[in-house]
């Protein structure tokens, strides 16, 4: 059977998004395993894996973030196709290769275009992660984004999230690298989901945490070298991480402005013609008085 699990960080988001999506695609016998924060993201996710490991006829475990809504009516069939490959460890919707740190969108991106629904400036829907290149066709990648993870029975049995990582950022990427180090594959697949997030993917107060997670991931990926080179590499990684965090922030600012402009255009379209003329006349008079 296919089991589902969520490490709930936002109970309201889980009830509104992840839970209905799971209910729409789960089979009658599918277990749903949930845990609130149990001492860090890695620890909470590992508790879900421990529970899934006890399922005798487990075919796959699907880890769903609380802001992710599964929308694919053929989801379970697609999951079974994926785990039929004995080499597969982890699959997700979208991911990348040839990147540094945790910014997978800076590399070669593959997978399914992910839709994002937001409530900024009147609300709307757009493609998520479109600050990076559009995804290529589904295929093998180094890591997938953690908004949805499909774990094979082998992965549930042999892999665990690193509980020493203090941040929620990067735990999925670290797990993918553990799978690849064991000789298994990670795959960005055709799995349709809807993520419910604000336009700004990274709040200013979250940037220091993201930067540290990015640096930690870069340190794990490659040897820091001799002690004399450690200082400049640390500065370079800080700069690289801050650049990516700032890139996300400034991109989201443009998105908010675009959403506000669209909202104003929608309001203007419904104004009577006489009202539009009056507003234009007032604008002309104000400009003449300057």
The CATH number of whichever domain residue 108 belongs to comes to 3.90.550.10
Res. 262 pLDDT band, cuts 50 70 90: low
What pLDDT, on a 0 to 100 scale, did the predictor assign at position 247? 64
Residue 128 pLDDT greater than 80, yes or no: yes
Structural domain contains residue 246? no
Q: Is 39 left (phi over 0), alpha (psi -120 to 50) or beta?
A: left
Q: State the residue range of the domain holding 74.
A: 2-203
Its pTM stands at 0.75
Question: 81 — phi, psi (to 5°)?
Answer: -65, -40
**129 with 105: CB under 8 angstroms?**
yes
Does residue 244 form part of some domain? no
Per-residue pLDDT tens digits for 153-210: 999 999 999 988 767 778 999 999 999 999 999 999 999 999 998 766 656 666 666 5
- 116: in domain: yes
The 10s digit of each residue's pLDDT in 86-97 is: 999 999 999 999
282 within some domain: no
Q: Does residue 42 lie in a domain region?
A: yes
Q: Does residue 273 lie in a domain region?
A: no
How many independent structural domains does the chain possess? Answer: 1
Q: Find, among 179, 187, 100, the residue nearest to 141 by Cα.
A: 187
Closest residue by Cα to residue 190 from 150, 239, 132, 235 = 150
CB within 8 Å of 181: residues ≥ 6 apart: none
Query: Is 242 a member of any domain?
Result: no
Would you say residue 252 lies in a domain? no
């Amino acid at each position: 059977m296919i089991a589902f699990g969520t490490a709930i960080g936002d109970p309201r988001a889980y009830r509104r998004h992840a839970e209905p999506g799971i209910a729409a695609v789960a089979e009658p016998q599918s277990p749903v395993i949930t845990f609130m924060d149990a001492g860090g993201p890695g620890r909470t996710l590992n508790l879900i894996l421990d529970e899934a490991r006890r399922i005798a006829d487990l075919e796959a475990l699907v880890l769903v973030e609380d802001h992710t809504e599964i929308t694919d009516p053929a989801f379970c069939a697609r999951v079974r196709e994926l785990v039929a490959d004995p080499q597969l460890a982890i699959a997700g919707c979208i991911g990348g290769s040839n990147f540094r740190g945790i910014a997978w969108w800076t590399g070669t991106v593959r997978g399914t275009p992910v839709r994002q629904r937001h409530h900024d400036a009147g609300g709307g829907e757009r493609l998520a992660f479109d600050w990076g290149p559009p995804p290529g066709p589904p295929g093998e990648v180094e890591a997938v984004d953690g908004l949805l993870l499909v774990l094979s029975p082998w992965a549930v049995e042999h892999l665990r999230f690193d509980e020493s990582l203090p941040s929620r950022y990067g735990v999925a990427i670290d797990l993918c690298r553990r799978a690849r180090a064991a000789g298994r594959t990670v795959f960005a697949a055709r799995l349709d989901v809807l993520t419910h997030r604000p336009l700004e993917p990274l709040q200013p107060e979250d940037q220091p945490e993201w930067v540290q997670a990015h640096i930690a991931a870069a340190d794990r990926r490659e040897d820091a070298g001799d002690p004399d080179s450690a200082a400049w590499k640390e500065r370079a990684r800080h700069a690289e991480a801050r650049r990516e965090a700032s890139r996300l922030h400034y991109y989201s600012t443009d998105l908010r402005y675009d959403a506000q402009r669209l909202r104003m255009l929608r309001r203007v379209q419904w104004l009577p013609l006489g009202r539009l003329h009056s507003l234009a006349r007032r604008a002309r008079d104000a400009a003449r008085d300057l």
